[in-house]
Every structure is written in structure tokens, then in C-alpha cells.
Structure 1
Amino acid sequence: MSMDVIEVGSAAPAAPTKAAAPAFVHLRVHSEYSIVDGLVRIDDVVAAAAKDKQPALAITDLANLFGMVKFYKAARGKGVKPVIGVDAWISNDDNRDKPSRLLLLAKNRMGYLQLCDLLSRAWLTNQNKGRAEIRPEWLEALAASSSTLNPDESQANGLIVLSGAHFGDVGTAIENGNLALAERCAQRWAKVFPGHFYIEIQRAGQPNQEAQVRHAVALGAKLGLPVVATHPIQFLSPEEYIAHEARTCIAEGEMLANAKRVKRFNQEMRFKTQAEMGELFADMPAALANSVEIAKRCNVVLTLGQPQLPNFPTPPGMTIDEFLVSESKAGLELRLVHLYPDPVKREAQRERYESRLKFETDTICNMKFPGYFLIVAEFIKWAKENGVPVGPGRGSGAGSLVAYSLLITDLDPLQYNLLFERFLNPERVSMPDFD
């Protein structure tokens, strides 16, 4: 990224002051949602980034996206671009007690969905000593599969990946003096994420950090990989360091007063301004500029406050609205046969039931909730067939004839003069909720 340079001659009139281009974006932050080692409150770090005029900010909690929605809202509310990411544990089959780490940032919606999938699989199928670890082959599988949104694009293009600094396999190999292994690891990830993999460097008071930075930069130059500077934010200000140490001691079962305990953090791991980062990496402006470039590449837009229901499968050639109407009519017919065994009485009652059913299905379809009714009907059916007790209906949902027809409830709302509008009303649009 090139920086604007203004040259003013001695005799030239004064030019209007031009706002400085952003020099750095924080891409590595452990918030309070990093349960074992984070202390940063989301509102506070967003406010700090906005005060420092940083155009974007990433929250990258350890193996989770718990704070994502809160962060997304807070960042947009302060005019800061939210970058969604995670500090991910990566399984190490050579030593399961020593997993490596990669920083995964969602580049787009596809990348966000991939993060959700990878983390869910890690928590459900690959925990080790309380750590939810992503298998390397899961990431490699992304490169071999096409995007459902764009068949010509690899799924690996949904993520931007940072090497993890000294916690990643590249950094660990450098720290152990095995530069050949570091090169192989970097080549591996560069192959999986072509054009999306960065060598990550830090100067945050870690032991041997200058040797680590020197070898990492040389490796990036050798392999033609970009290098990006990050800073591990574990707490906001130096005054919070002791509180952070107490939190990590609780997580590790250690005593704060134990002088022999291993200290993994130091007072430098606080929020730093663009100016402070500029001083730290004055010799590597490109590494700072790449943090801004990465933030520009990450563009995830979330739709919040609107129901996001699964797509309910329907027969070929039939819309979900048509399927709801069809299932409701079929269910109503069975209910009428049960309620009015006498065909004559049944026909005498049919018009008021069908009129009510049409009113309800029209309302449900107009409010875009047919999928909700079909989904609830499906799991209620499963519950009844598998010995799970299901009540006859309670609350306003018992006033729905569609629910009665789909066997969600077992109360005839017309018999008891129950109102559908108490459950679903076009004048008050809200998600329906069966009790």
C-alpha cells in the first residue's frame, strides 16, 4: 500500500491540511470472550480504536466467535469497520499436547460460514484437554472444493490466514532453529491459501523476538509471501496487567504469588496506537501497511435482527408457500373427519373452517413465516413418534388453525373462540413462538 506524500515548496501557498492515511489496523485482539486469557471489553477496545482513528478492528478470540455480534454492532456504531476472525488451535498429530495456532480472518460471507463450520466441528469432534482444535486436513479440504456461491472459486478464498507469529507452526519451527521445517510449513499454508496467506510478525516483548522477526521476514522474502505486523492485545491498558495475570492464574490453576510460575504475558500486550506501532516497526513500514490492506480485503456484512430460518425442503415444482397451504388443507380435512364424523354436519361446518384457514395461511405467507410452521410441525411429529411428551398447546399459539391442522397443537381454536391475531398479527411483525 502506498502512502500519500505531499511536497510543498518554500514559496508555495499553504495547502489545506490533508488527513493522514491510516497506518495500522489491529488484527489480533483477545476480548473477554477468550475465557482463559482475555480481559478486553469489546465496547472499550472499539472506543480506543475509534479514538485513535483506526479505520478497522478485528476481534480474534481463542477458538470461538462468542463476541462476534456484540463486536459487530459496537464497531459499526463507532464508525469502525469490523473484521471477524478467530485465533484457531490447529491439531499437531506429532504432539497432541502442543497444537499450533493460525489466525483466520473472514474475507467475505463464505469465509464467515467456514469459520462457523470449522469451529463447530472442532468443538463437537476434536477437543483435546478442553481445546477445540481444527484439523489441518479440514483446511486443506477447502482448497479442493468449490464455493457454492461461485463454482469457479476455491472455498479457501473465503479466509485470510496469518501464520500465528511465534505460536504458529512456522514461528515454532523458527524458534527451535529448524528453518527448513519453517519453510515447509509456510509453503504448505501458502499452497492451501494462495494469495491469502501472510507471515505474521510481532514485537511485544517476547523472548528472542528480534531473531524471530528477522528469520520470518527472510522467509517471506525467499518464498514471495507478504509479511504483516500484528500486536497481541490481551488487555487495554498497563494498569490492567495484574488483573489479567490473576485471570490467567485462575484458568491455569496457578497462584499469582508463585514466583516460579511461567509467565506467558507481559505489560506490552496492551492496546497500542498507530503511532506506537509505527515506532515499533519503523524499519518495516510495509508490514504495517499490510495490516491495513488485510482489513480492506475483509468485507463481511451481517444481517441482524431478522429471522434466519433453515430452508425447508419442498416437493419439486412447489414453493414453500404452496406446500404450507397444501399440508394445511390436508391436515384440516383429517381434523374435520375426526371432529364431525357425520358428512352432513361436516359440510355444514366446512366453510367457516376453510375461510379461517385461508386467512391464516395468507397471513403466514405474507409475513414470510411458512418455513417456521413447517419446521415446528416436523419436530413435533418426531417427538410424538419417539415417545417425547407433547402438550395439547398453550399460549397464543393454540389460537392457530394452521397449527391445529399440522398437528402442532391439539385444540380446535374455533370451538373455543381463540383468536389467531394474538399469535401472529400483520400490524405487529415479530417472530412467532410456539410455547
Structure 2
Amino acid sequence: MLPQLYTVTAYSLLQSTVDISRLVQVAKKRGYHTLGLCDRNVLVGAVSFYTACQDAGLQAVIGLHLDYHSSIQAEENEILLFAKNITGYHQLIALSSQKEINGQVNLSDFDSLANLYAVLPPRNEINYYLERDLDKATERLHFLQSIFSKEQLFYGVTPRLQLSQAEATFYQDQNVEPFAINEVNTIDPGEKTAIAVMDHLKNGTQMENLAELEQGSGEYLLPADQITHYFQENQKKALENAIAVATECTQFEMPLHQKLLPHYPVPNNLEASTFLRDLCHTQLKQRVKEVTATYIQRLDYELGIIHQMGFDDYFLIVWDVMDFAHRNKIVTGAGRGSAAGSLVAFVLAITDVDPIAYDLLFERFLNPERYTMPDIDLDIPDNRRDEVLHYVKEKYGTYQVAQIATFGTMAAKMVLRDVARVFGLSQSEANRWSKAVPGTLKITLKKAYEESASLRDLVALNERNRQLFSVALILEGLPRHVSTHAAGVVISD
């Protein structure tokens, strides 16, 4: 059975309607055993894709559709890459990061990418040169073979784009084998209209007429036996190669349960637990007017649990961040949530609530019978957040600290406005659609249609409105754009 490897999801922003959780469930029903992710230049869906496949009993292959730069060609080139092991996955991350940070990636910057399988899609630089300069095509092919190894570079064949005789002959002469690929960027045939609208959204343009809806470049997920039969009849060797590669690429396990907590740089080579204990007992006298046996017992109890659960470094890092803020007169919050139940957090000035005075439970915050990361909310004013971020990067290392991304999704009112703009509606007409949706928090278009008579009347008015609403239903909830989260920061080892 053909593995579906070339799957573009909605994380390739405005290029696909494929939601990962829905994809996995539908793919299983349509007979697939192995499923691949191959988003354009990004890997943000990799972990959720991998876990969704595991939960559904499917084999997952992690790939990347990479646009790479060549110094001898102005336009970017395309290549499909699939990780054969964990090292290959790390190489995909490196390639994606270079592309996203620098805007371009040069394969020549990498000595070897031999832990990746590479597939040349129908639109690739070799085919480009074959029409113009055979020597250059040969030179570039040999370069790619040196990077990925000869046995791991294939040329892609697809039901939709046939190779020319010259291309097929060239690859045969160069001993490059075929590889069966089938690009999928929608799940059902009816979603092709949404791809056409996405193209306009991405380019900030409008449709000239409704006929354009049928011109979207959407390719849906065919049943596994149907697409397998096509390659069995027409490209048997390509099918065999795709199955062999997928089989190897599904052997590696994504290490999702590692403990990657960073370490606080403790002075004098002390143990983190010893330093934390000494610090807390020193600070206790400054934070509590009358230190009684109750405080000593509670502090020792909490420190024992913190050490048992492996969070000594965690508390030292949070203390260090808050200490920097206090030394630099940056206002911080008094502490919210269950962290207020920790005496350790109070004596370290992470929180400003004395849990003994208010009889607050530490077990609501940390409990060895229920292993979870501590959750301490740090309130830092946004006008000085950059100072704290810069301090953390300097202290723990640029490559150990990262801000997290957040995805803006197309909610009910926003998606109607977006689609209305592509359909060429005026601002007042778009407002009418938006106002027809009730102001209920997180309302869906389906629910709005049930509740709002004015929305139902708008949809029923004419064919254009029916199409507009149909497309909006498909796009609703998909990622629209990505930005930097206002406060989320990751520190790892």
C-alpha cells in the first residue's frame, strides 16, 4: 500500500485546508497505514502530527518541503526531505530554522545530509537545467548526490505531472530511481474552492468571478487502494521505493519524554539542592518577622519535595529572574494560582503571599503523587519585558532560550470578513456579514447559522453568498498568521 508522504497541512499558512487531527482520522478510514508530514519550510506541526498518528495506530514519517537557494540560479529550488532517524529529524530542524531565520538556505552550508532521504518534485532545478544546459543539470545532480548520497536521492513521479521523455532518460542514465509521491493539501474534493480563496488572501487580491473557485490547486486525499493501483499499473518501481523509504523512516521514535530542564549555574561547584536550601534559610529571616518551628518544618518539607521531584534548578532559575527584576526596579506581580501555597516561593520573593499566615496548601502546587511541572506565573510589565528576556538569554545562552510562536486562527467573524474581501464585497457588506454573527465568545459559524436569522437570510440571498459561506466554513479555525507570543519563553538545557 502506498504511504501518503507528501502531505501539506494548514501550518503551511494559506496553502492547505488540512487539519492534522482530522487528516489522521480520515486517512485511517481511507486505508492508509503510513502517513507523512511535508509542510513548506516549517516543522511546527511535527510533534502534534507524530502523536496523532501514534494515537490512531498509524506510522508517522516527518518530512519537509524545502525551498533552497542556489548561487547559480535566481529562483529558489524545491526538494522534499524525509528524516530516516532522529539525526535526520535534527537536520530537518536545522534546515527549517536557517530558512525561517535567514530567509534562505544553502545546501552547500551542510557537509552531509545523509540522514535524510531526498526526492526531487516535478518542479526542480535539475529539470530546469535539462531544458537549457545538460552539463549544468549533471553537475547539480552530482552535487545533490554528494550531499544526500546517491542511494538516497530520488526523482518524484506523480499521477498529475508526467515527466518528459528527456527527463526520464536523463534520470535513468544517471541511475537515479523514481519515487511515488502524491501531493495532498485538502482532505475532501469540495475544499478546492477554499484553496483558491487562500491564494487571494495570501496575495491580497480579489476574485474576478465565481468560476475562479474551481481553479484552486487543491489536491485531496484519495483512498489508499485507488492511488496504489495507479502506481502499481504505471510506476511499480516508484511505488516500491516509496514503500521502502517509508518503512525505514518509521523506525525512529521522537523523544517526547526527555527531561530537558536547564541547570542554574551554581557557584563554587555546589549541588543545586544545597545552594537552594542555604539560600532559602538565609532569605527566610528577611522575609518572615518571627521565624517559628512551623516555618522551619514547612520549609524543609517543601525543599524535600522539590528535590525529590527534580525541581531544584527550576526554583533557582525563577528566583534568579525575579531577583534581576527586583534589582532593576521592574515591577512584578504578587503571585497567582497554586504557587501562592509555596513557602519556598515566598521566601525567594517569587510570590508575596505568606502561605503559613493564610493557611495555604503546598500540595495544590506540587505533589509527588501527581508529577507535573510547577506552574508559576510571572507578571512582568510589557514595556520592560525585553530587558528580562535579554538577561535570560545572556545568562543561559542564546541557543538555550527561545520565545514561542502563537498562531492567529480564522475565527467566525474574521473568516467571514476575509472571504468577503476576496469575493469583492464592500466594507459595509462585509460589516453586515460580521454583524449577523452573534457576539458570543468562541461561537462557530455552524452555531451562528442556527441562532441567527439574519445570517440565514444572508446565506440564502443568492449563489454568491452561499459560496462565500461554504468557503468560510472550510477555512474556519485554520491558522491565518504566526507571531511571537507576548510572554511565552522556553529555556532548556
Same structural fold, with TM-score higher than 0.5 when normalized by the shorter chain: yes
Match of 1:402 in 2: 344
Which deviates more from structure 2 when the two are superposed, residues 326-335 or residues 54-63? 326-335
Match of 1:326 among 259, 275, 284: 275
Per-residue deviation at 1:203?
2.9
Q: Secondary structure at the match of 1:134?
A: coil
Per-residue deviation at 1:359?
1.3
Distance 2:29 2:150 in 1: 32
Question: Measured at CA, do residues 353 and 237 of structure 1 come closer, stay the same or move farther in structure 2, by a change above 3 Å?
Answer: closer
Equivalent AA in structure 2 for residue 161 of structure 1: A
Match of 1:239 in 2: 190
Q: Secondary structure at the match of 2:233?
A: coil
Match of 2:146 in 1: 191
Q: Secondary structure at the match of 1:374?
A: helix
Match of 1:147 in 2: none
Distance 1:243 1:197 in 2: 36
Q: Secondary structure at the match of 1:310?
A: coil
Per-residue deviation at 1:101?
1.7
Question: Measured at CA, do residues 434 and 259 of structure 1 come closer, stay the same or move farther in structure 2, by a change above 3 Å?
Answer: closer
Residue 425 (structure 1) aligned with residue 367 (structure 2): yes
Distance 2:149 2:345 in 1: 51
Per-residue deviation at 1:352?
4.1
Match of 1:372 in 2: 314
Which digits, 9 at most, give the CA deviation of each residue in 1:221-258, with x for residues without a partner?
44444331211112234333233222223223344446
Distance 1:219 1:85 in 2: 26
Q: Contact (CA 8 Å) 2:84, 2:115: kept in 1 or not?
A: yes
Equivalent AA in structure 2 for residue 421 of structure 1: E
Distance 2:298 2:341 in 1: 11
Per-residue deviation at 1:291?
0.9
Residue 110 (structure 1) aligned with residue 87 (structure 2): yes
Match of 2:107 in 1: 136
Q: Contact (CA 8 Å) 1:220, 1:226: kept in 2 or not?
A: yes
Q: Secondary structure at the match of 1:433?
A: coil
Match of 1:89 in 2: 67
Match of 1:202 in 2: 157
Match of 1:58 in 2: 36
Distance 1:337 1:268 in 2: 67
Q: Secondary structure at the match of 1:422?
A: coil
Equivalent AA in structure 1 for residue 97 of structure 2: S
Distance 2:69 2:306 in 1: 47
Match of 1:13 in 2: none
Distance 1:285 1:189 in 2: 25
Question: Measured at CA, do residues 244 and 375 of structure 1 come closer, stay the same or move farther in structure 2, by a change above 3 Å?
Answer: same
Match of 1:384 among 318, 326, 339: 326
Per-residue deviation at 1:42?
2.8
Residue 167 (structure 1) aligned with residue 123 (structure 2): yes
Per-residue deviation at 1:204?
4.0
Per-residue deviation at 1:186?
2.0
Q: Contact (CA 8 Å) 1:328, 1:402: kept in 2 or not?
A: no
Match of 1:126 among 88, 102, 109: 102
Q: Secondary structure at the match of 1:421?
A: coil
Equivalent AA in structure 1 for residue 106 of structure 2: R
Equivalent AA in structure 1 for residue 118 of structure 2: V
* Equivalent runs, 1:267-416 vs 2, <5 Å: 270-271=221-222, 273-280=224-231, 282-298=233-249, 299-302=251-254, 304=256, 308-314=259-265, 322-336=271-285, 339=288, 349=292, 351-416=293-358
Q: Contact (CA 8 Å) 1:397, 1:423: kept in 2 or not?
A: yes
Equivalent AA in structure 1 for residue 119 of structure 2: L
Q: Contact (CA 8 Å) 1:201, 1:216: kept in 2 or not?
A: no
Q: Contact (CA 8 Å) 1:241, 1:267: kept in 2 or not?
A: yes
Distance 2:208 2:57 in 1: 42
Distance 2:227 2:53 in 1: 22
Which digits, 9 at most, give the CA deviation of each residue in 1:117-152, with x for residues without a partner?
4323432x323xxxxx333244x14x2xxxxxxxxx
Per-residue deviation at 1:259?
11
Q: Percent identity?
A: 27
Q: Secondary structure at the match of 1:167?
A: coil
Per-residue deviation at 1:374?
2.9
Distance 1:216 1:378 in 2: 61
Distance 2:285 2:323 in 1: 19
Q: Give TM-score scaled by structure 2 length.
A: 0.66
Which digits, 9 at most, give the CA deviation of each residue in 1:144-178, with x for residues without a partner?
xxxxxxxxxxxx34432222x1333223333x443
Q: Contact (CA 8 Å) 1:229, 1:290: kept in 2 or not?
A: yes
Distance 1:390 1:431 in 2: 22
Match of 1:41 in 2: 19
Corresponding pairs, count: 375
Equivalent AA in structure 2 for residue 205 of structure 1: R
Equivalent AA in structure 2 for residue 418 of structure 1: L
Distance 1:103 1:198 in 2: 10
Which digits, 9 at most, give the CA deviation of each residue in 1:340-392, with x for residues without a partner?
6xxxx76xx4x544432321122123223334323322332333345532224
Equivalent AA in structure 2 for residue 173 of structure 1: Y
Structure with greater helix share of residues = 2
Equivalent AA in structure 2 for residue 236 of structure 1: I
Question: Measured at CA, do residues 264 and 179 of structure 1 come closer, stay the same or move farther in structure 2, by a change above 3 Å?
Answer: farther
Match of 2:447 in 1: none
Query: RMSD over aligned Cα, in angstroms?
Result: 3.4
Q: Contact (CA 8 Å) 2:42, 2:64: kept in 1 or not?
A: yes
Question: Measured at CA, do residues 79 and 270 of structure 1 come closer, stay the same or move farther in structure 2, by a change above 3 Å?
Answer: closer
Q: Give TM-score scaled by structure 1 length.
A: 0.74
Which digits, 9 at most, give the CA deviation of each residue in 1:252-300, with x for residues without a partner?
3344446999x99657665353443442463431211111111111134
Question: Measured at CA, do residues 240 and 381 of structure 1 come closer, stay the same or move farther in structure 2, by a change above 3 Å?
Answer: same
Match of 2:46 in 1: 68
Per-residue deviation at 1:82?
1.0
Q: Secondary structure at the match of 1:161?
A: strand
Per-residue deviation at 1:395?
3.0
Distance 2:91 2:234 in 1: 36
Q: Contact (CA 8 Å) 1:103, 1:162: kept in 2 or not?
A: yes
Match of 2:455 in 1: none
Q: Contact (CA 8 Å) 1:30, 1:233: kept in 2 or not?
A: yes
Unaligned runs of 5+ in 2: 378-493
Per-residue deviation at 1:28?
0.5
Distance 1:171 1:246 in 2: 30
Distance 2:28 2:17 in 1: 19
